[in-house]
Amino acid sequence: MARKFFVGGNFKMNGTIESVKNIVKNLNDAQLDPNVEVVIAPPALYLLLVRENLNPNIQVAAQNVYDKPNGAFTGEISVSQLKDSNINWTILGHSERRTILGESDEVVASKTKFATDGGVSVIWCCGESLEEREAGQTISVIEKQLKAVAAKIDNWKNVVIAYEPIWAIGTGKVASVEQAQEVHAAIRSWLKANISEQVAEETRILYGGSVNGKNCKDLAKEKDIDGFLVGGASLKPEFVEIINSNQ
């Protein structure tokens, strides 16, 4: 069975009530490819606003979730609170969480297990720095990240992988189509060798790294690129064009 194309929009720490409402209206009014799964991730403050106003066919994601059921964890959101709010997705392991906020591979893996066990699907991010790429360590870095999460989870059905080269996030630099496809193919090969052929075939692998309306169509044609995790462009009208790039 063909993997369903997937486009996620990560708003990061951007937006106001007015601008988020405009994004929601634009998506509600747009003609979106019905064969694409769309998930948007506004800042936590606006999760309920978005969920209550967005077309129910579009899912909503948190940008983070904690790996404890509840309790004295100031500033965190639990899996059960997301479920209670009809938020069925979360982004985990984004490079900004890893590099700026110091989340280790093990912390990301623990959060991924807690989310998937609790019925929240995960956009799980991986990627290498410019120094690591230039040192020829891209695949080894990503395999290390994959090993950490594979040690924690058994069920991959609710996991979408997003390859996000750190050097291409918010920089305007984009991995070439060939560079992106090469890493996506390596991730799929790792899944086949270390998890199962079925997981390798069924798991969607997204590209995220300055995706925009100009480069999305060429990237979407690649065999192992199953969609995108979009940053800044998800705040703009061109997000619709990216969603429809696989037509």
Question: Which tokens sit at 107?
Answer: 């912390």
Question: What single letter denotes the amino acid at residue 195?
Answer: I
Active-site pick, 37, 132, 164, 184? 164
Q: Is-contact 217 196, C-beta < 8 A?
A: no
Exactly one of 37, 94, 128, 132 is catalytic; name it: 94
C-alpha distances in angstroms, 93 versus 1, 108, 210, 217, 219? 28, 5, 17, 26, 22
Given a contact cutoff of 8 angstroms between Cβ atoms, the answer to whether 181 and 210 are in contact is no
For residue 94, how far is the Cα from the chain centroid? 8
164 tagged catalytic = yes
Number of H helices, E strands in the chain: 11, 8
Q: Catalytic residue positions?
A: 94, 164
